[in-house]
Amino acid sequence: MKIVHTLSELIAARAELQGSVGLVPTMGALHNGHLSLLQQSTAQNDHTIVSIFVNPTQFLPGEDLDKYPRKPEADIKICELAGVDVLFMPRPEEMYATIEPTIHAPSSKAYILEGLARPGHFDGVLRVVLKLFNLTKPTRAYFGKKDAQQLYLIQNMITCLFLDITIVPCEIIREDDGLALSSRNAYLNPEERREALKLCESLKCATYLVMKGERDISVIQAAMLQALKPLHVEYAVILNRDFDTIPSLHVGHSIILVCAKVGTTRLIDNLWI
């Protein structure tokens, strides 16, 4: 595995790769969720490029940019074992110029839910992802359904900017007890870790109601809010898969999204139903 830090090293390493290339963009502190993306990429492509970059433009002032978990040595081992060909670990100065065009993610879809609490977050995400696409020219790029809104916005960018890249959505990987894996779970103390289960429990509770035939969104939402008590809930919503509001849940076309704060840690989870 080649580990590269500069743009010129990355471009040179990419030029040597023949055949299909899978790209897995990450912020590091890799866990089994990331690993499942790496495994899908290595299985489906001749070569895999992984980026590890805690992207400053997607963090708002006061967010956890400085304390975001960083585990470069462990990440390198995981990538090596997974059969990654090129690991790109740039410094921020490498990725951004002082003057450059920016991207404004579509407001109606990028300034709701995650984007309401984190205005401009998705502008930063699309900006860095487009740079990574241009640098690595992947055949396929792998994104987790865990970040469902991000996945939607990236697919939208691919379509609208006519990029010739296939986006592969990857299933959410969970702990045995149901908690969705996230680098930010490292912030939770043991009691918060238990409380955090309420997010996936609220999704299970919604699924149970849907299986019993319930389609009324306000009924399902009320049950979810009950299951999430006493967490500070930012949203518990049911939308269609284009992130539009819908009059009632339509099985096979809906997504249930939840965001709650456990202590000071904001956690998200979702279920495609």
Residue 98 to residue 152: CA distance in whole angstroms: 29
Q: Which of residues 148-177 bind ligand AMP (CB under 6 A)?
A: 170, 172-173
> Token pair of 60, please?
């708002």
Binding segment for ligand AMP (CB under 6 A), chosen from 29-37, 42-50, 192-200, 213-221, is 29-37
Binding segment for ligand AMP (CB under 6 A), chosen from 6-14, 30-38, 87-95, 156-164, is 30-38
Tell which one of 33, 115, 124, 138 touches ligand AMP (CB under 6 A): 33
Q: Which of residues 178-207 bind ligand AMP (CB under 6 A)?
A: 180-183
Tell which one of 14, 21, 23, 34 touches ligand AMP (CB under 6 A): 34
Q: Binding residues for ligand AMP, how many (CB under 6 A)?
A: 17
Q: Do the Cβ atoms of 124 and 245 come closer than 8 Å?
A: no
Residue 117 to residue 207: CA distance in whole angstroms: 26
Q: Which is nearer to ligand AMP, 50 or 239 (CB)?
A: 50
Q: Which is nearer to ligand AMP, 131 or 146 (CB)?
A: 146
Regarding 144 and contact with ligand AMP (CB under 6 A), the answer is: yes
Active-site residue among 5, 31, 34, 253? 34
Nearest to 252 by CA among 228, 269, 271: 271
Give me the least distance between CB of 129 and ligand AMP, in Å please.
Answer: 10
Q: Is 104 a catalytic residue?
A: no
Residue 157 to residue 153: CA distance in whole angstroms: 6
Binding site for ligand AMP (CB under 6 A): 26-27, 33-34, 36-37, 143-144, 146-147, 170, 172-173, 180-183
Residues acting as catalytic residues: 34
